[in-house]
Amino acid sequence: MPSPRVLILRAPGTNCDEETAFAFEQAGAIAERVHVNRLIENSALPDRYQILCIPGGFSYGDDIAAGRILATRLRQHLAGMVDAFVHGNGDRLVLGICNGMQVLMRLGVLTDGVAQSNGAAATLTWNNHGRFEDRWVHLVVDQTPCVFLKDVDRMYLPMAHAEGKFVAAHASVLEQLAQQGRLALRYAREGQGSVENEILPFPDNPNGADANVAGVCDASGRVFGLMPHPERHIDPTQHPHWTRRKEQPECGDGMAMFTNAVEWFG
């Protein structure tokens, strides 16, 4: 099978596109960084890609709210592209990392199909302590159909955000998402091997997210958004304690996500 092509979406303020493209390329994909304005000018351009990735950063300076302006531009000018990747024929993948997850949440694709009387089923809001937080976090994977997390049990990744707290509108929303395996990635204590629903204290849960949620997927498992940065830990030397380890793994923890995405097309 030919290597899948990845559209790394850029916008003013995006700053993790090169690292994300490199991670996909290391996994065997062909990654191209494309500005949102170029896509708006050429509506046929997205047809050449099999994976859409919205990387981290501060698109449009996170004015109004994190990811909202880019989400609005996508909704107004590229709704057909988003629908083709998210729904389409079920033969494409979508990944949103940090600011990318914020964009996907604003678009509503990560909570699509969840029963909710009015308003958004869930959102991402300010961290509990009200400031930007930058640290490494332990993560565990729940039972999930998420393509990107296949055969992954736990990860240790860096996070860096101010508006990453996942909040559900009602407990019933969390129940629906959990039953469908869509609360795919959770913050955890060091050494913890299973999911906990009780909110962990800071810093294990760095933002106070409901049910310790760090990543959410759609019902199909093809669309995934997470707040930590897998592209920042694809090599063992990126681990903060790499010089103190007696044995080095072949890859950093985040590499499996990109490999899974590429192998899905095989």
Is position 239 annotated as part of the catalytic site? no
CA distance 266 to 260: 10
The number of folded domains in the chain is 1
**pTM (2 d.p.):** 0.97
H helix or E strand, kind and range, residue 138 = strand 133-141
Is position 16 annotated as part of the catalytic site? no
pLDDT reading at 128 higher than 80: yes
pLDDT (tens digit, 9 = 90+) per residue, 152-176? Answer: 999 999 999 999 999 999 999 999 9
Mean pLDDT for the chain?
96
Q: Which one of the listed residues 16, 231, 233, 239 is annotated catalytic?
A: 231
pLDDT of residue 43: 87
pLDDT of residue 117: 65
Give the domain CATH number at 132.
3.40.50.880
Q: Average pLDDT, stretch 21-27? A: 98
Q: Which one of the listed residues 98, 146, 217, 233 is annotated catalytic?
A: 98
Residue 131: band (very low, low, confident or very high) from pLDDT cuts 50, 70, 90 = very high
Alpha helices in 118-216 (DSSP H): 171-179
Is position 247 annotated as part of the catalytic site? no
Domain that residue 110 falls in: 5-263
